[in-house]
Amino acid sequence: MIKVKEITTQQELKRFVKFPFTLYSDSPYWVAPLTNDELETLDKTKNPVFKNATATYYLAYKENKIVGRIAVIINKLEIEEIGKKKVRFGWLDMIDDIEVTKALLEKVYEAGRENKLEYAEGPVGFSNMEKAGILTKGFEELNTMITWYHYPYYAEHFEKLGFEKQATWVEYRLSIPATIKEKVAKFSSIVKKRYELEVIEFKNKKEILPYVNTMFELLNKTYNSLQTFVPIQQYQIDYYKEKYFGFIQPDYITCIKDKNGALIAFSIVMPSFSKALKKANGSLLPFGWYHMWQAQRKNDRAAFYLIGIDPEYQGKGVTAIIFEEMQYLFNSKGIDKVETNPELIENTAVQLLWKDYEPVQHKERSTFKKSI
C-alpha cells in the first residue's frame, strides 16, 4: 500500500531533498544539486518567492520505504495577474511504479480543486527562473546545473495517466571553431558602427552589479511573448543576485550599451559545472569546493545560461557582437564545446543564433498538462 505524507519537519525536508540521491545512485548521468542550495530554495522562511507562492511537499512511502516525492505549488502572481488557472508541481521523483506517480499527482489535483483551478502542469519550479520539464530525449547526457535529469519512465507514466505535453524545450551542443569566423567579425563591426554600440569591459565582479537589475528587465522584455512567461519580480532579482553571484566570472559576461550608455543586450556564459557537481555529489565539503574551483579554472566546456536583447534591437545583428566576444573568450580558455540552456521549441529566433556552430539538438524536455 502506498501512503503519501505531507512534510512537516526539517528532518523530513532533508529526506525530501536526499531521495533522488538514492533513486539515481547508479546513474552515470544524473548530476546532484547542492543539498544546502536545495534546502534553501524549498525553505519558506528563506526563499522570497513565497511572497507570491505557496507550496506543500509530500513524500510517498511503500512498505515504510520512501518511493517518491512531489512539491505542489500555487503561484498567486500567475493566477491573479496573468489569469492562468494552473496548479504547478515540481521536484517530482519516483520509482518505476505508476501507482506511486498516480498517488503523488492526486495531491496536485486536490490542491487545484481546493483553489478552483482548471489544470495541473509540471514539473516546474516556483517561477520561470527555476528548472522545468521532464527529460524526453538525452538520457545518456549529464544534466546541467539548471536542469533536471529523469529516467525514461517518467514521461511514460504521464502519457499513461492521460497527460498531454504542454511546453517543450530543446537544448543544443555547439562546436566552437579554433578561430573567429570572418563573417561574424565583419558583421559585428558593421553593427557596432551602424547603431553606435559598444561592449562594456568588466575588470571585476563589483563592476557588474550596477547592471544586474537592467539585465533582468531585458529578460522580461525579451521573453514576455512566450507561453510560460511570468514577470520576474524585484525580490527575485535580489535573491538570485545574492545566491548565484559567486559563480559569475566577469570575463564570461558580455554586455552591450548604446551611445547613451543604456544596456541594450547581454549574455551570461559559465564554465560547465556538470562534471564538478557530479564529483561533489551534493556537497561542497570536504572536496566539492575543489572540484567547482577546478571547473572554473580549467574547462574545455561551457554552458550558455542567459541572453537578453532589447526588443528595439532584436533582428539587427546584435548577436554577432555577442558571438564575437564569446569566440575570443572560448578560444582563450581552450573551450571547444558549449551547451545551450533549454529554449522553448517555438523560439526559433534563438535557435537560429546557433546555425554557424554545428548545432546538435542533444536533449529535449517537456512539461505535462492535465485538466482537473
Tens-place pLDDT, residues 282-341: 999 999 999 999 998 899 999 988 888 898 998 898 989 998 999 999 999 999 999 998
Do 31 and 146 belong together in one domain?
A: yes
Per-residue pLDDT reduced to its tens digit, 169-187 = 999 999 999 988 888 899 9
The mean per-residue pLDDT over the stretch 121-150 comes to: 93
- Which residue in 273, 347, 266 sits closest to 303, CA to CA? 273
Chain mean pLDDT for the chain: 92
The neighbour count for residue 168, using CB atoms within 10 Å, is 16
Do 190 and 160 belong together in one domain?
A: no
**What was the pLDDT predicted at 203?**
87
Do 203 and 307 belong together in one domain?
A: yes
Per-residue pLDDT reduced to its tens digit, 192-237 = 999 999 999 898 888 988 888 888 888 877 766 655 667 778 888 8
First-residue to last-residue Cα distance in the chain: 24
**How much of the chain exceeds pLDDT 90, in percent?**
70
The answer to the question of residue 158 being in a domain is yes
- All cell numbers assigned to 281: 555529489
Q: How confident is the model at residue 243 (pLDDT cuts 50, 70, 90)?
A: confident
Distance CA(90)–CA(127), nearest Å, equals 11
The answer to the question of residue 365 being in a domain is no
**What was the pLDDT predicted at 228?**
60
Q: Which of 45-54, 100-109, 147-156, 221-230 has the lowest mean pLDDT?
A: 221-230
Do 166 and 183 belong together in one domain?
A: no
Question: CB of 142 within 8 A of CB of 274?
Answer: yes
Question: Chain-centre distance of CA 280, in angstroms?
Answer: 20
Do 321 and 230 belong together in one domain?
A: yes
- All cell numbers assigned to 271: 564554465
**What was the pLDDT predicted at 218?**
87
Residue range(s) defining the domain that contains residue 288: 177-335
Do 233 and 111 belong together in one domain?
A: no
Q: How confident is the model at residue 127 (pLDDT cuts 50, 70, 90)?
A: confident
**What was the pLDDT predicted at 224?**
67
How are beta strands 253-257 and 134-137 bridged, if at all? unpaired
Do 199 and 235 belong together in one domain?
A: yes
Do 237 and 114 belong together in one domain?
A: no
What is the domain-level CATH number for residue 224?
3.40.630.30
Do 70 and 6 belong together in one domain?
A: yes
Q: How confident is the model at residue 166 (pLDDT cuts 50, 70, 90)?
A: very high
Number of domains in the chain: 2
Residue 153, classified by CB atoms within 10 Å of its CB into exposed (0-12), middle (13-18) or buried (19+), is middle
Do 152 and 193 belong together in one domain?
A: no
How are beta strands 337-340 and 164-175 bridged, if at all? antiparallel
Distance CA(367)–CA(274), nearest Å, equals 23
Distance CA(30)–CA(74), nearest Å, equals 28
Q: Is the pLDDT of residue 154 over 70?
A: yes
Do 96 and 140 belong together in one domain?
A: yes
